[in-house]
Amino acid sequence: MNPFHTIDPNLTKPDGWVLRILLENVQTLRARSTLELQSNNDDGYCSQSSEDKIPDAKQSPDQDKQTEQGDGKVIDHLRALNDPKDSEFIPIVFLSWDLEDLANTPIVFRVLLQCYVGWAKTIVRNEVDVVMLTHLLLYLFTSVPSAIYLYRHFSLIHGFLHTVMHVWYAGSYTLMMHQHIHMRGVLAKKYAWLDHSFPYITDPLMGHTWNSYYFHHVKHHHVEGNGPNDLSSTIRYQRDSLWDFFRYVARFFFLVWLELPLYFLRQHKTTMAFKVAASELGSYLFLYLMATRVNLHATIFALLLPLFVMRIGLMIGNWGQHAFVDDVEPDSDFRSSITLVDVASNRYCFNDGYHTSHHLNPRRHWREHPVSFLQQKHIYAKESALVFCNIDYLMITVKLLQKDYNYLARCLVPIGIQIGMSIEAIAALLETKTRRFTEDEICAKFKHS
Ligand SMILES: [Zn+2]
């Protein structure tokens, strides 16, 4: 038993179901191939090792049917959990706890919680997104007053704690805004004014520059899909090289203000180029004025350190999401991004681990990713997509830079033909997917280059 293939009870229930199904699949196919081998050996036909034979293992039609029925039940259950009209529907109110974890709290708390959920459903755009309002209120009552106090009565210890709190918030906030930028809001239409204005206050506090996430991610990254024209593309970098990683981060850090407007100009999107340049340079001007005219020390802790951490975090995340790119079909969403199951990113960052599913349909609601993954499981397997568990994007990047492919291979949840491969073979396979593409290869392999 691979110790990395364990289900963490503290992570999301849908992830637990998805991982359980994948692991059962692996066990079933391996057990069947072992049985076949034994019977072949008994008949005196086969002298090959079991490792050699496993790739040929296939489920019998009966097993296929059983698996499909089992998957179908889980898919129906997951769908019901997400459907407000279904009796099984469970709203997500907090990212850290499920409602059932709060069943033993005092009755007063549970009544208040019920009242809050009833009210929150009328405020959010999609009534399954109560958690978005919870987080908006969290930031409104912690980030904003803390920053105001820091500007009025600065102290080093407060500045340090303020920055730590915002580094802690960074992932959840960014992925909440990820939903916001893809759907152009998270609140009900009647609150559009609030929906469009709150990011101008919260974005700088969390380390984002105004509107840049929308222009960079939605209007550029998803259009280019990690291809040659994507400014955050990983394909021209050796993804297990520390030097290449530094170059990748530094390019975004120092040049995005120039490169993104130039990208839109090359695409003949002049208005967008102007807007993104104005947003980015306007943000820098705002930071400069806050530092020089208002309070330098408060600006360092409330605005500059969060910006520094966020930009590095965004690039580490993108590196991890697109580090493994298939050398045969690098423009396939299945082969240029990965899926993480049963990881903290899914619990605290709105299912961010399902990155392939997100690229397949960027407007898919975050709660739909596990069910959508299960529905398309056979395509992921056929396409030899990569699915990992018990490792997050940050640690994927760290392990890559350590060239620890063995560790990464043990975190891989094998699907399709990978089920028959040894850890060493998977490690070697992963290594082939982190190689830098030459310009000739890019011309030959990317249809739109
Ligand atoms: Zn996206």
pLDDT for position 103: 84
pLDDT per position as a tens digit, 120-165: 999 999 999 999 999 999 999 999 999 999 999 999 999 999 999 9
pLDDT per position as a tens digit, 210-253: 999 999 999 999 999 999 999 999 999 999 999 999 999 999 99
Range with lowest mean pLDDT among 36-40, 307-311, 444-448: 36-40
Ligand 1 centre distance from Cα of residue 313 (Å): 15
Ligand 1 centre distance from Cα of residue 411 (Å): 24
Ligand 1 centre distance from Cα of residue 400 (Å): 23
Ligand 1 centre distance from Cα of residue 384 (Å): 22
Ligand 1 centre distance from Cα of residue 294 (Å): 35
Q: Where are the domains of the chain?
A: 13-22+60-87+325-433, 131-314
Rounded CA separation 173/396 (Å) = 21
Q: Which residues pair with 412 in a beta bridge?
A: 388
- Indicate whether 363 pLDDT > 90: yes
pLDDT for position 448: 56
Residue with tokens 């593409």: 437
Q: Measuring CA to CA, which residue among 338, 328, 317, 330 is closest to residue 386?
A: 338
Ligand 1 centre distance from Cα of residue 182 (Å): 7
Ligand 1 centre distance from Cα of residue 217 (Å): 6
Work out the number of other CB atoms within 10 angstroms of the CB of residue 381: 19
Ligand 1 centre distance from Cα of residue 11 (Å): 22
Ligand 1 centre distance from Cα of residue 33 (Å): 40
Query: pLDDT band at residue 38, thresholds of 50, 70 and 90?
Result: low
Ligand 1 centre distance from Cα of residue 183 (Å): 10
Residue with tokens 């559009």: 192
Ligand 1 centre distance from Cα of residue 265 (Å): 22
Rounded CA separation 264/194 (Å) = 28
Rounded to two decimals, what is the model's pTM? 0.90
Ligand 1 centre distance from Cα of residue 42 (Å): 54
Rounded CA separation 221/204 (Å) = 21
The residue type found at 284 is Y
Ligand 1 centre distance from Cα of residue 30 (Å): 36
pLDDT for position 3: 83
Ligand 1 centre distance from Cα of residue 245 (Å): 21
Q: Which residue has the higher pLDDT, 147 or 47?
A: 147
Ligand 1 centre distance from Cα of residue 223 (Å): 10
Ligand 1 centre distance from Cα of residue 273 (Å): 20
pLDDT for position 184: 92
pLDDT per position as a tens digit, 405-419: 999 999 999 999 999
Ligand 1 centre distance from Cα of residue 56 (Å): 37
Ligand 1 centre distance from Cα of residue 322 (Å): 13
Ligand 1 centre distance from Cα of residue 327 (Å): 23
pLDDT for position 37: 63
Ligand 1 centre distance from Cα of residue 225 (Å): 10
Ligand 1 centre distance from Cα of residue 185 (Å): 14
